[in-house]
Amino acid sequence: MVTGVSKQGSALWLCVAVVLAAALPAAGQPTDSGLAVEMTIRDRTGQALRMPRSREPFRLVLKISDAKTGQQPAGLKPAAWIRPVAAENAACADTARALRATRGTPRGVIDLNGELIGVLNDDASFGVVDRRLDQSGANMIAAATFDRRPDAIAFDPAGMRALTVFTAEGRIEDVDLLTGERRHLAENLAAPSDVRATAAGSVWIAETGRDALLRLKPDGVVDVRLVLPGGSGAAENGLSLRETGLPGLLGVYSGDGRVALLDDWASAIVWSASGPPIADSRFIGSGTVVLLPAGEKALDIRYTDDPGEPLRIPIGIDATRLAVSADGRHAIAYSPGKPIFVIVDLATARLVEAGHMQERMAVQEAAFVGKNLYILSEDGGAVAIFETAALGRKDRPAPRIIGLARGQPEAGGAGTRIAALDASRALVVDRGGGMGLILHDAMAIGNVPPEDYVRLRSGVPLSIGVIDRSLREAAPGRFETVARLEAGGEHELILTTGIGGLTTCIRFAVEGDGAGEDRVFTLKASPRDGRYRADRPETVFFEFRDGDGREIAVPRARLLVSSLQSSWTMPVDAQRDGDNRLAAQIRFPHPGIFSISPVDIPQAFELREPALAQVSP
Q: What per-residue confidence (pLDDT) applies to 285?
A: 83
Comparison of pLDDT for 448 and 319, the residue scoring more: 319
Is 594 in contact with 562 (CB distance < 8 Å)?
yes
* 247-261, 304-318, 441-455: least confidently modelled range: 441-455
Strands 569-576 and 152-156: unpaired
Q: What is the DSSP letter of 101?
A: H
- In angstroms, what CA-CA distances link 293 with 256, 309, 317, 318, 513? 10, 13, 11, 9, 59
Rg of the chain, C-alpha, whole Å = 27
Is 35 in contact with 73 (CB distance < 8 Å)?
yes
Is 348 in contact with 331 (CB distance < 8 Å)?
no
Cβ-count burial 190-201 (b if 16+ within 10 Å, e if not): ebbbbbbbbeeb
Is 174 in contact with 163 (CB distance < 8 Å)?
yes
Q: What share of the chain is helix, strand, coil (3-state, %, to 5)?
A: 5, 50, 45
The C-alpha angle 370, 371, 375, rounded to 5 degrees, equals 85
Bridge partners, residue 581, by sequence: none
The C-alpha angle 124, 127, 131, rounded to 5 degrees, equals 145
- In angstroms, what CA-CA distances link 505 with 2, 62, 436, 479, 590? 13, 12, 35, 16, 55
pLDDT of residue 459 exceeding 80, the answer is no
pLDDT of residue 135 exceeding 90, the answer is no
Average pLDDT over residues 259-276: 93
Count helices and strands (H / E) in the chain.
1, 51
- In angstroms, what CA-CA distances link 233 with 142, 193, 195, 207, 253? 39, 13, 18, 10, 13
The C-alpha angle 565, 586, 128, rounded to 5 degrees, equals 100
Residue 258, C-beta contacts closer than 8 angstroms, at least 6 positions apart: 228, 229, 230, 231, 237, 252, 272, 273, 274
Is 467 in contact with 126 (CB distance < 8 Å)?
no
For residues 145 and 402, give the distance between their C-alpha atoms in angstroms, rounded to a whole number: 33
How many C-beta neighbours within 10 Å does residue 528 have?
12
For residues 95 and 503, give the distance between their C-alpha atoms in angstroms, rounded to a whole number: 10
Is 407 in contact with 433 (CB distance < 8 Å)?
no
User: Which residue, 269, 273, 326, 332, is CA-closest to 302?
Assistant: 273
- Burial class, 485, CB count within 10 angstroms (exposed 0-12 / middle 13-18 / buried 19+): buried
Residue 396, C-beta contacts closer than 8 angstroms, at least 6 positions apart: 387, 390
Is 218 in contact with 46 (CB distance < 8 Å)?
yes
Taking only the tens place, the pLDDT of each residue in 113-126 is 989 999 998 888 89
For residues 488 and 481, give the distance between their C-alpha atoms in angstroms, rounded to a whole number: 19
Residue 142, C-beta contacts closer than 8 angstroms, at least 6 positions apart: 127, 128, 175, 176, 177, 178, 179, 180
Q: What per-residue confidence (pLDDT) applies to 17?
A: 30
Taking only the tens place, the pLDDT of each residue in 89-122 is 889 988 888 888 877 777 678 899 989 999 998 8
For residues 354 and 342, give the distance between their C-alpha atoms in angstroms, rounded to a whole number: 4
Q: What per-residue confidence (pLDDT) applies to 25?
A: 27
Confidence of residue 31 (pLDDT cuts 50, 70, 90): very low
Is 481 in contact with 471 (CB distance < 8 Å)?
yes
Backbone φ and ψ for 568, nearest 5 degrees, come out as -65, 135
Q: What per-residue confidence (pLDDT) applies to 458?
A: 57
Confidence of residue 14 (pLDDT cuts 50, 70, 90): very low
Sheet holding 58-66, edge to edge: 35-42, 58-66, 478-483, 472-475
Is 264 in contact with 202 (CB distance < 8 Å)?
yes
pLDDT of residue 444 exceeding 70, the answer is no
- Start-end of H helices in 41-183: 92-102
Is 335 in contact with 321 (CB distance < 8 Å)?
yes
- In angstroms, what CA-CA distances link 376 with 129, 353, 417? 22, 17, 8
User: Which residue, 386, 400, 401, 465, is CA-closest to 429?
Assistant: 465
pLDDT of residue 263 exceeding 60, the answer is yes
Comparison of pLDDT for 47 and 237, the residue scoring more: 47
Q: What per-residue confidence (pLDDT) applies to 90?
A: 87
- Burial class, 140, CB count within 10 angstroms (exposed 0-12 / middle 13-18 / buried 19+): buried
Average pLDDT over residues 328-338: 93
This prediction's pTM: 0.77
DSSP SS3 for 140: strand
Taking only the tens place, the pLDDT of each residue in 203-243 is 999 999 999 999 998 777 889 999 998 876 554 568 999 99
For residues 382 and 392, give the distance between their C-alpha atoms in angstroms, rounded to a whole number: 23
Residue type, 306: D
- The dihedral built from the CA positions of residue 205, 206, 207 and 210, taken in this order, carries a sign that is positive
